[in-house]
Structure 1
Amino acid sequence: MTDPHIRPATDDDWPRIWPFFDATVQEGETYAFPLDLTEETGRSWWMERPPGLTVVLEEEGRVLGSAKMGPNRPGHGDHVGTASFMVSPDARGRGVGRRLGEHVVQWHRDHGFAGIQFNAVVETNTAAVALWRSLGFEVVGTVPGAFRSPTHGRVGLHVMYLAL
């Protein structure tokens, strides 16, 4: 990558996020989002408001990936964070997910979170599972058959956790 930059996403970024957001959702292998999301309803699922944040990884003016982060639960659960990630299909395998993951972990540390919980990592998404393990996350449980994969049928959803 030449000069990749992670920065907070703006409303003007959404039209550049939407194509790979929609492609990822339509693939049906990594997110349990509704398949009938429109560009506007997708925006409300992805673009976080404070205390959360959505970021983009940009290279030479092109958005290669995005992540959203913030408290996993409100109130008594807001000391544990969560995050979601999407990488443009044509940027996969270039370290975009790792850069976003490292950024998200540091953001949670900087904001005083006690840990990060990923609620639903599809067990057949082996690249993501390996990435999160390499960043120190562990699988703390798996809900069997909780995700309907178009390719693999019913597969488990991992709950992954990193203490900070």
Structure 2
Amino acid sequence: MLIREATREDWAAIWPFFHGIVAAGETFTYPTDLGEDEARDWWLLAPPHRTVVAVDGTGTVLGTAKMNRNHLGNGGHIAGASYMVDPACSGRGVGRALCAYSLEWARTAGYRAMQFNAVVETNTYAVKLYESLGFTVLGTLPEGFRHPAHGYVGLHIMHRAL
């Protein structure tokens, strides 16, 4: 697996799984009816932020991550990131590779920590992955997310020092 800078041309491969994940309404706080143009503008970030794709040996996009400053001003030393893996590629280490990549990016860019603002507590695979990479749950916003199957569930704020 190779992780490389995402290009606008990659969007055609990202959009189908991005759209499916967002429309399902189970893991992201994005509007479930988010349109393609707006989604592309939200996901494909301009420098100094970064968006990458994980691809296999044939160049097929397996997943993507966006990495950015989490806060502005005097909080600008905290990074944030978001990840999406094509569900057809789950269980292959794509999410772990993207997360590890983003941690190294943040460390190299001079950030002191990474914070995830809204990890849905029922997204147990993501929570477990992040904890295995050194993140801790700092707190949970009770009923901060309206899950389509579970109703109102908590949103974890997760953190890891770099």
- Assess same fold via TM > 0.5: yes
Q: Name the SS of the counterpart of 2:158 in structure 1.
A: strand
TM-score (norm 2): 0.98
Q: Which amino acid aligns with 2:20?
A: A
Displacement of 1:132 in angstroms is 0.1
Q: For residues 155 and 17 of structure 2, what CA distance do their matches in structure 1 show?
A: 22
Deviating 4+ runs (over 6 angstroms): none
The aligned residue for residue 118 of structure 1 is 116
- Give the gaps of 5 or more residues in structure 1: none
Alignment partner of 2:38 out of 38, 41, 60:
41
| Identical columns (%) | 53
TM-score (norm 1): 0.96
Q: Which residues of 2 match residues 63-74 of structure 1 at below 5 A?
A: 63-74=61-72
- Answer yes or no: is the 8 Å Cα contact 2:24–2:32 preserved in 1: no
Range with greater deviation from structure 2 (128-137 or 34-43): 34-43
Q: Name the SS of the counterpart of 1:145 in structure 2.
A: strand
Q: Which residues of 2 match residues 109-148 of structure 1 at below 5 A?
A: 109-148=107-146
1:106 paired to 2:104: yes
The aligned residue for residue 154 of structure 1 is 152
Displacement of 1:147 in angstroms is 0.1
Displacement of 1:48 in angstroms is 1.0
- Give the gaps of 5 or more residues in structure 2: none
1:15 paired to 2:12: yes
* Alignment length (residue pairs): 161
Displacement of 1:35 in angstroms is 1.6
Deviations 1:52-91 (A, max 9, x none): 1000000111100000001001222110000000000100
Displacement of 1:96 in angstroms is 0.4
